[in-house]
Structure 1
Amino acid sequence: MTAPTVAGAFGALREQLTDAAAAFAGSPDALGAILSGMVEDVDRALGERLEIFPVCHHSPASALAMVRRLRAKQPRVIYLELCEDLQPLLGELRNCRLPVAVQAFASELSGFPADWGPLSVVAPVTEASAEYQAIAYALETPGVELVLVDRSTDHVFQWSPREQPISDAGPTAEGGDVGTAAVTGEESALHGDAVGVEIGDLRPRFAELEAYLLHHGKVRHWSEWWDQYIERPLADADHDTYRQVMVLIGSLFRRLRPTGSDRLDRDEDRERYMWTRMRQHLATSGVDPTDCLYVCGAFHAASRVEQFGLGSTADDFEITPRTGTRWRYGLIPSSHSAIETQFGLAPGSVSIAAATWTKAVSRHGLSPYRLDGQRTSTTQRRRGQAPTAPSHAAGPVSDRLTGFLAAPPDLNGLDEAELRGWCVDIVRLARRNGYLASTADAIAVFETSVLLAGLRNRARPTPYDFADAAVTCIEKDVVPGRRDVRRLCEILLGGDRLGQVGYDALPPLARDVLDRLQPLGLALEKRTVQRALLDLTGQPELARCSDLLWILRHLLPPDAVRPIMGERRLGHRSIQESWDLALGRNQRALIELGYEGVTVEQVLEQRLRRAVRGPDATAAAALAAVEDAIRLLDSPRLVDELGARAVDLLAAERTVDDAPDVLRRVRRLLAHYRATSPTLPAWCEAFVTTGYAHYCTLLPTAIAAEETEVRQVAAMLGFLFSMEGLALSLGCDRSQLELAVAQAHPTAPAKVALLWAGQHQLGLLPLAELRARCAELLGNPLVLPAFPQYLAGFVHALEPVPGLAPFVVETMSNAFARLPDPVLLPWLPTLISTLRDQGPELVPLLVREAGRTFPTALPELDSWVPPWMAPSSPARTVDVAAPQRPVGVLLAAHPEAVDAVAALLGCPGGWQPLPDPPADRSALSALLNGHPETAAAVAALLAV
């Protein structure tokens, strides 16, 4: 077959189109060049020695044409437009239930921006697709080789703009208002945020052209336009007509697109890449090109790159090496709605395509190719049916386009039985879902479907017409049921078919998880939620299942493994547990764990290390990783490593943003080690000493900074005061804290109150003076509006100085008693929100102290006097002889306890007799009476 022969076959069509362009536009220049160029593209594609088979992704017409051509030609080599590094996975399709997606995944990047990770590429496969028919034919036919020739997954991201990775899937949603009926949920999110790779992205890349086609085609979205004008006419077309029409459409969309775009350059580079790979394979294998078939998108079949064709003399395309990124490969479950969401198809279009494929296969009596794992008794080749003899030599190309374009629309009559069945079934489904539908609605849907088809120039109603009619006649204005009518139509016409990856195609980690959970006795591959009951006391062997479930709870999405009863915290393990398991529904997440390691323990250890080694790691995150390692992994080595990293991160921090989280976690870890270990680990001691010095250094700056919150300063002081004893025993100097408090000069009222609390804790500010300062604030009209902020600071001071709880209750009571309503009432919501959001753990302290302070019965309220307002004489005397030294007498009578404490403290033993009371107590009494402030302060502390 030569090019001139082909050109001659389409000469009449070229002249006809050129004359039409001249008559329509007045000049054959622009429009004529486009139309004649389209014919030239068809000439070029059909004149190539290597047969090019143009397809459209998830198109039943393409799949039917592929089945017919494979049975007629029986090629020895199939070149398929798919990422070349995905080829080893195709054999695993035998172990899956379609639809599934072939996936490449990378979490550790090399050569790509770090914020791109993790990278994921998926290529969904459905039975009603030409690529699946080609794959099944190649894998099930002996002596046939399947070669993937598209760029690798690494090159997919190499060729993406560096600003952000882009998807090959085209638009994210179709035009019109149909997007509101999209299926939202787990089925539509099975692919996650992966980049989609499809064969045959055949859609206008010129927005005005698509809008024009939809408007004049009287349809709402592209899927409906394609089904009406391309899919159905080509379903019964012969091979030559199919190829010519598909190349013509690909050439039209290729020529009517914006020029100079990055996507245009990437498309042409892909075509150069694929032709280079095919040339290399033909050169090394020595196979005859007439025994080969090149399956690609119709857009690429109309390529005009210099490497196009085996007769091209252009140099091979220079293929850049892959980056150092390590890619993991596997299969993940997919669904019709996931494919529609990712590739911007109309909701239900893939389900309608599947139903169209099943009906067409039955109508034409075809035997599609299926892998062993997907075969059923109804899909086997009919017994006695002889295979079609191979046909390698193609006859001369004849012009089929002219007849196809000039042919009138199909005038097949209405299939009343099919439409009637749809109408009856949709009414039945609607009634089950709460709609008040009846036989009259079924008749209305039937008549409306016919009416809509007539308005849209269709010879017979399509599933889209039927769905629109059902929504109009049944749904009315409201949706009382669980599903809307459009979703019910999708279920009726085929439903959202969900795929599943078989056990043998799972990665080792996923198989290991399923094997280790077998003692639970559940069918975990099912998509239903299953309840697992674990009696860890009666069945100790289930403890390993419990450990695994807690790890999976940490690694998988929340709905995959959800505890109903039981908990796993530091130092505590439940004796009974109850779990809701949905591993079959979250199979994709489990499979992607297998890309990171061989066991879940290895994956968890790697993630904990990454969490503390990342550029945004903090000391609080490192302490959280330590907790997870203690709770979930029995690895002291890992805990020590993570703890040492937490020390380094704390020393390197320059802010105190995470101080509350650090304080809460380190307290919990210290309590755990004190309860379970005789000594603290070295990293824990280093963390306390480092934190003591670190927060002493940052305290003067942080307490004066406006961006530092009160809660963060309170957490710093809480760390310093609560860890002070341990820090001093480990060699820290208390003068560091005293100097830090002395150098602190806050201006915000709440922070001033915090500083006063810290000074009181250090003994620098007696309680009486603190009470006097608060009284002075309440007595100053200029400071009165800011007093609630001081009080908020005192509330936060309960974190570092919990002993101030009686004083805080006293101060808050005085504030409620003395603050005017214009100040008090606006402050109350702020106080409540502060206690709820920032200090929920402080509320019990205030409540307990208030319970001890205020009367417990209503009759006592009338005569109750607050302790801080009880009358006391400033000249109050103290009788030193009254107590009669009962404590000394008790200890002398039972010296064993005191001797044991003295031995622990290293004090010398020995007892001295109690001294007699002084005969003359007048000097002591005169001293106390001369300085009543001291006695009054002690009495106030003792609540005397």
Structure 2
Amino acid sequence: MSEVSEVSAVNDRIDVAEGAFGALRTQLREAATAFADGPDALEGILLGIVDDVDRAVREPLEIFPVCHHSPASALAMARRLREKQPKVVYLELCEDMAPLLSELRNCRLPVAVQAFATEVAGFPADWAPLSVVAPITEASAEYQAIAYALDTPGVELVLVDRSSDHVFQWQPRESSADEPADPDAPPAEEEAALHGDAVGVEIGDLRPRFAELEEHLLRHGRVRHWSEWWHQYVELPLGDSDHDTYRQVMLLIGSLFRRLAPGDPHRVRVDEDRERYMWTRMRQHLAATGVDPADCLYVCGAFHAASRVAEFGVHGADTFEISPPSGSTWQHGLIPSSHASIEAQFGLAAGSVSIAAAEWAKNLKRTRVRPFRLTGQAGTKKAATPERTAAPAAPAPAAALPDRLSGFLRRPPVLDSLDEAELLGWSVEIVRAARRNGYLASTADAIAVFETSILLAGMRDRAKPTPYDFQDAAITCIEKDTVPGRRDVRRLVEIMMGGDRIGQVGYDALPPLARDVHDRLAPLNLKLQQRGVRRALLDIAGRPELERCSDVLWMLSYLMPRGAARPIMGERRLGERPIQESWDLALGTHQRALIELGYEGVSVEQVLEQRLRRTAHDPRATAATVLQAVEDATLYLRSRRLADELGTRALEVLATERSVDGAPDVLRRVRRLLAYYRTTEPVLPAWIESFVKTGYAHYCTLLPTAFTDEDATVPQVAAMLGFLFSMESLALSLGCDRHQLELALAQSHPEELAKVALLWAAQVHLGRLSRADLRARCDELLRNPLVVPAYPQYLSGFLHALEPVPALTDFVVEAVSKAFAQLPDPVLLPWLPTLISTLRSGGAELAPLLIREAGRIFPGRLAALDAWVPPWRAEREAVRPALSAGGSGGNGGSGGVALLAAHPATCDAVARLLGCDEPWETVAAAPRGVALLERHPETAVALEALLTTP
């Protein structure tokens, strides 16, 4: 009998509902017949929409459909909560975010509830870190529900949406999890990037997914984007509607967009699974608590309110199985948000959220509705709790449900009268703001903006200009051709309408790490929680306690984005202690990054240690990156234990490398660490001794291959030689064999000319090639016209040779000077950019050597340059200065060589006297006998003595 009565009751409700919406169904059938030449073409869609509304309205658990950041939804929510006073509020939000909602009272909205996971298990590794955010603003229905539930005694707030872990479980594995919601949306600016790469979760994702439908609505509505259409045709009409009208219209819109959505199988499945998940959780809670569904309120997006899944309703099927969570470790917290970040993440028009906030404030003032605000929240007044003196009205029976849709759809649009005072105030304010930002605006521009706003509204069939009409008018009348400042008129209008409000998380709601950072930086006496840049001056010599602040700041500069903690004066090097430092701090601007550090540990030292270990043990880590981690551990943590651990890891990585790509970084970092340990430690750490020993044998093995490998660059080969030569004494003392290096050089046969020069320099260092032989080879290259065009490549090799063989600095200066003196311009000029780039890349080590040596060789004054003789020419012509000195000491005439050259007949006679019968050799246009004298300098000296004897 009970089953028969239950079926009878259900049939009665269906008959009553059919009567309630019967007139609307009749009108829709007639419309389908008229527009589609038959009742079957559109009947399924149009009548299905009415069925969806009917089903949601008849549900015993009241469904409250909302749209995200909609002032009309927030206003209707505030009204309904004060009227119904539900005991349980079910909210469409990730269920694992519930513990964070009470911390909203310690924040200034807008903020976002965030779930963050760095330890990823069960998901692709390239998805890490996982991040989910749910932004909350005051002008949103969900905030009204949260504030009501948290500040009203006896009211329970239950989050019923899928958990953050399920958000990623339901992501397709072939696409990236952090794909933006709107791929066509413009890139977010710095202030709009507060959410980073997080996946956004919002209540009421109400936007047509059928592109043709949205285009049709925008074109016929004479608007530019969806936010403007929603403001004009939904927000304004529903602003003053009663509860039943608002609820049925939102259900109608949600059903329409749902039925006209494209059939993307994955998206449809995710939407339906979310609805099954939420109704399953609500039924579980109802069964566990025994609360009456009439005392509950279900707040969800209008898209999900018009659901057709079998699990829909308190009497739905219990067939959905919720999968277990993955092994990922999730952290939860609050991060600052902003209007711009919400717009960028969810594909809304720029300024739409700011305009919605202004509309919310106007609605509150017009309707005198008391909104719900969390007690003690920053930036808000203390809100009075709703009075519970009278019991809420009992829910109306099904027979009393009115049909509000028919009247709403037939009602002509309400033509609001022009509020001239409001529009005039906007026009005056935008001109004032434009003048402050460099525009040449005047009173005439204010009048033009006023009249143009009315004109645009009339062209768009509006009796009253909307903020979007005013924005277009201001751009047309004020922004002529250029933007004099950093803000254009569109941005000025957004600021005037409320601006890009940026939220802030209060100290009490911060994670332990963030609170610890603020406590440790308290001696600086700066308001670091405020946005903007703060200059910190640290006189560590006068106030030694500030050195602890310096340590924290250096770790923050390493961990946080650039600009959060930026050193202006001072640096941190191995073995040095700070004296004075100056910092630019913007921790309030980068509060999100500081909060996310708190998800990784309880102190900055712990987070830095974890990141250094993660870097060192990364599968793609090289010996250079691990050595950098060793250096960072020593610099920022001063941890010998961690440095030894990472150094051992660097030794392991070096032994497995088969390329020389990181040789320059390895050489540079090993030199610094060796210098540091030699000056601060009594003995070298065991790991660095093993590293030098292993590196010596490793690079000796790779050296012959690197000389011939085209992928190995000249700086990399030079760095290998630098490691072998500079670490040779230590390596030999540790048991290495120098014959291994000599054998490696003997097996090296480079073909690239720069590497040939490197090999020659290495042979000079080992004593296999003398400097005289090296100079002779270079001179021979300059005399060979076939090799002259390639001579700069040899010089490039000699420049890089300064890294392993700095003793050749004077020879490199000589070679470069000869190149400038003898190379023709077509060869010299194209080589100059290569020379400059080489010196710039190795400027820290190479350029000072060359400059110091050139300063020693070249004259210091311009006047002495004409009489200056290069040292390499002085050595070759050592004979001529001696002869010149002898001649001037006797008669003050020229030397013997010049005298013989001037009198060739006398020279021939003297030669016959001395028995020299070799034929004379002439060089260019020089007189006979000169070349012979140069070849026999001893004979020239004897002739000088013979001719100058009195």
TM-score (norm 1): 0.90
Aligned to 1:332: 335
- What is the correspondence of 1:908-919 to structure 2 with a 5 Å cutoff? none
Aligned length, in residue pairs: 871
Aligned to 2:642: 638
Aligned to 1:354: 357
- What is the correspondence of 1:255-654 to structure 2 with a 5 Å cutoff? 255-312=259-316, 314-374=317-377, 380-381=383-384, 389-395=391-397, 396-654=400-658
The 8 Å contact of residues 71 and 389 in structure 1, kept in 2 or not, is answered as no
The 8 Å contact of residues 663 and 718 in structure 1, kept in 2 or not, is answered as yes
Deviation sequence 1:582-615 (CA, Å, 0-9, x none): 1111111111111011111111111111110111
The 8 Å contact of residues 704 and 747 in structure 2, kept in 1 or not, is answered as yes
- 1:192 matched to 2:179? The reply is no
CA separation in 2, counterparts of 1:369 and 1:214?
A: 34
Task: Kindly report the root-mean-square deviation, in angstroms, between the aligned alpha carbons of the 2 structures.
Answer: 2.2
- 1:76 matched to 2:87? The reply is yes
User: Higher mean Cα deviation, 778-787 or 572-581?
Assistant: 778-787
Task: Give the alignment partner of residue 847 of structure 1, picking from 851, 868, 873.
Answer: 851
Task: Give the alignment partner of residue 813 of structure 2, picking from 809, 815, 829.
Answer: 809
Aligned to 2:925: none
Aligned to 2:901: none
CA separation in 2, counterparts of 1:97 and 1:774?
A: 74
Deviation sequence 1:830-855 (CA, Å, 0-9, x none): 22122213455211111222222222
Q: 1:803 to 1:842 in 2, by over 3 A?
A: same
CA separation in 1, counterparts of 2:513 and 2:56?
A: 46
CA separation in 2, counterparts of 1:13 and 1:53?
A: 22
The 8 Å contact of residues 127 and 178 in structure 2, kept in 1 or not, is answered as no
1:781: Cα distance to partner? 2.7
CA separation in 1, counterparts of 2:681 and 2:255?
A: 75
1:865: Cα distance to partner? 2.4
Deviation sequence 1:865-909 (CA, Å, 0-9, x none): 222223658999xxxxxxxxxxxxxxxxxxxxxxxxxxxxxxxxx
Q: 1:854 to 1:11 in 2, by over 3 A?
A: same
CA separation in 1, counterparts of 2:378 and 2:579?
A: 47
The 8 Å contact of residues 152 and 385 in structure 2, kept in 1 or not, is answered as no
3-state SS of paired residue (1:373): coil
Q: 1:859 to 1:520 in 2, by over 3 A?
A: closer
CA separation in 2, counterparts of 1:99 and 1:390?
A: 32
1:154: Cα distance to partner? 0.7
Q: 1:114 to 1:376 in 2, by over 3 A?
A: closer
The 8 Å contact of residues 355 and 497 in structure 2, kept in 1 or not, is answered as yes
Letter in 2 for 1:782: L
Task: Give the alignment partner of residue 743 of structure 1, picking from 743, 747, 766.
Answer: 747
CA separation in 1, counterparts of 2:381 and 2:815?
A: 84
Aligned to 1:152: 163
Q: 1:48 to 1:641 in 2, by over 3 A?
A: same
CA separation in 2, counterparts of 1:746 and 1:28?
A: 86
1:245: Cα distance to partner? 0.7
CA separation in 2, counterparts of 1:260 and 1:428?
A: 50
Letter in 2 for 1:359: K
Aligned to 1:892: none
TM-score (norm 2): 0.89
The 8 Å contact of residues 106 and 378 in structure 2, kept in 1 or not, is answered as no
Letter in 1 for 2:326: T
Deviation sequence 1:436-465 (CA, Å, 0-9, x none): 111111111111111111111112011111
The 8 Å contact of residues 127 and 177 in structure 2, kept in 1 or not, is answered as no
1:23: Cα distance to partner? 0.9
Deviation sequence 1:520-579 (CA, Å, 0-9, x none): 112221113222222212212222112111111211122111222222111112212222
User: Higher mean Cα deviation, 476-485 or 499-508?
Assistant: 476-485
CA separation in 1, counterparts of 2:416 and 2:867?
A: 99
Gaps of 5+ in 2: 1-9, 881-934, 939-950
Letter in 2 for 1:7: E
Letter in 2 for 1:153: S
CA separation in 2, counterparts of 1:724 and 1:210?
A: 73
Task: Give the alignment partner of residue 760 of structure 1, picking from 738, 749, 764.
Answer: 764
Q: 1:498 to 1:377 in 2, by over 3 A?
A: closer
User: Higher mean Cα deviation, 559-568 or 57-66?
Assistant: 559-568
If you compute each CA radius of gyration, which structure gives the higher value, 1 or 2? 2
The 8 Å contact of residues 169 and 197 in structure 1, kept in 2 or not, is answered as no
Letter in 2 for 1:354: A
1:349: Cα distance to partner? 0.7
3-state SS of paired residue (1:807): helix
- What is the correspondence of 1:681-700 to structure 2 with a 5 Å cutoff? 681-700=685-704
CA separation in 1, counterparts of 2:825 and 2:877?
A: 34
Deviation sequence 1:741-789 (CA, Å, 0-9, x none): 1111111111111111111111111222222222222233332222111
CA separation in 2, counterparts of 1:766 and 1:30?
A: 97
3-state SS of paired residue (2:297): strand
Aligned to 1:906: none
The 8 Å contact of residues 157 and 165 in structure 1, kept in 2 or not, is answered as no
- 1:836 matched to 2:847? The reply is no
Percent identity over the alignment? Answer: 71
Deviation sequence 1:321-358 (CA, Å, 0-9, x none): 11111011000111111111111111111111111111
Task: Give the alignment partner of residue 29 of structure 2, picking from 14, 18, 28.
Answer: 18
Deviation sequence 1:394-420 (CA, Å, 0-9, x none): 243221111111111112210111111
- 1:87 matched to 2:98? The reply is yes
Letter in 2 for 1:560: A
1:858: Cα distance to partner? 2.9
- What is the correspondence of 1:658-677 to structure 2 with a 5 Å cutoff? 658-677=662-681
Deviation sequence 1:606-647 (CA, Å, 0-9, x none): 111111011111111111111111111132111110111111
The 8 Å contact of residues 374 and 382 in structure 2, kept in 1 or not, is answered as no
Aligned to 1:236: 240
Letter in 2 for 1:602: Q
User: Higher mean Cα deviation, 277-286 or 28-37?
Assistant: 28-37
- 1:722 matched to 2:726? The reply is yes
Q: 1:856 to 1:169 in 2, by over 3 A?
A: closer
Q: 1:875 to 1:822 in 2, by over 3 A?
A: closer
- 1:8 matched to 2:19? The reply is yes
Deviation sequence 1:226-246 (CA, Å, 0-9, x none): 000111111111111111111
1:50: Cα distance to partner? 1.4
1:392: Cα distance to partner? 3.5
Deviation sequence 1:351-392 (CA, Å, 0-9, x none): 111111111112111111111133778663499x88775123
Q: 1:649 to 1:183 in 2, by over 3 A?
A: closer
Aligned to 2:905: none
CA separation in 1, counterparts of 2:477 and 2:379?
A: 39
Aligned to 2:62: 51
Task: Give the alignment partner of residue 41 of structure 1, picking from 40, 43, 52.
Answer: 52
3-state SS of paired residue (2:484): coil
